[in-house]
Amino acid sequence: MASQDWFEKDFYKVLGVSKDASASDLKKTYRKLARQYHPDSNPGDSAAEAKFKEISEAYAVLSDPTQREEYDQIRAMGSGARFTAGGGGTGGGFDDVFSAFTQNRGSAQDFDDIFAMFNQGGGSRFGSGRFGQPSGGFRGFGGPQRGGDVRARTTIDFVTAAKGETISLQSEDGKPFKIKIPAGVADGQKIRLRGKGRPSPDGGESGDIVVEVAVRPHPVFVRDGLNLRVVVPVTFAEAALGATIEVPTLGGDPVKLRVAPGTPSGRVLRVKGRGISSAKGTGDLLAEVQVVVPAHLDDAAREALAHFVEVGPQGNPRADLMSKAQAS
């Protein structure tokens, strides 16, 4: 940033803080504004991007105690006179000082000597060895830039998503890397590797690697949050008379469940703790009973079923349905 900008820009006003704001207040305010105006939160919004650069520039100076002290000193001097290039004022221009330095390039005078004219021999050195550094406040825009994110995609099987695993991938720019798939990762979830993306062009923090995960469907289980659902076929006799049946689990031994007599199709039986385990907790296995109707009956079975109809419960099971439909 050109030194003259320090006279013209009110960094305290940019951040909306007082001149005696503490370092913690500065950081808190900056983080709030950065989240609000960050380009990732405002894609395609040039005004938001410009505001983000402006607040980053202000914070880069005010968050550094040395630069903040120098900025306050220069602003204090600027309150009494207008430092411009040339002009008719008696005080001369700030650029005139640099012209004098250029004309006397062979002398032992250095930048400390020049700024001593303003500091009157007191205070800290202007720039403190930082003049022109990328991370300083002289760049014309908001401090160090964050490196870009690198994106990648992977498709994993259902069991790997449930149990977790470390896998090797290749990013969009062709570089290999390893990533730990956490237990319980969901289809479409994104995993972020902080600081593993593209480096900053000017000494700031690196970007991230962002991996989007796709999960292949399982032939038996369906995920419902942290729960697992499975449809369990039972015979008419098992549903009517009751039975103890075996139900599969994901990657483990089957469990035995008791089907109560008269269990209808669609009833859900719960097995605690046999769902998906993740950092957020552990779900259950939900077994939905499905009564299987035989497609073919031999003569003996047909005769036995006909006898059941004669001696079994009488009445129309749809009578209540029809009554409610007509009443509406």
Take residue 160 and report the two structure tokens written for it: 């790997």
In the chain the domains, ranked by start, together with CATH numbers, are: 5-119 (1.10.287.110), 150-215 (2.60.260.20), 222-314 (2.60.260.20)
Strand partners, 233: 290
Residues of the chain with pLDDT under 50: 1-2, 80-141
Closest to 238 (Cα-Cα) out of 286, 294, 285, 284:
294
pLDDT value, residue 112:
44
pLDDT value, residue 140:
42
Predicted TM-score (pTM) of this structure: 0.53
Closest to 181 (Cα-Cα) out of 283, 285, 278:
278
Take residue 204 and report the two structure tokens written for it: 């700031």
pLDDT tens digit sequence for 301-320: 899 888 988 887 877 888 88
pLDDT value, residue 78:
58
Q: How far apart are CA 164 and CA 179, in angstroms?
A: 11
pLDDT value, residue 58:
86
Q: How far apart are CA 236 and CA 291, in angstroms?
A: 6
pLDDT value, residue 252:
85
pLDDT value, residue 5:
63
The one-letter amino acid code at 87 reads G
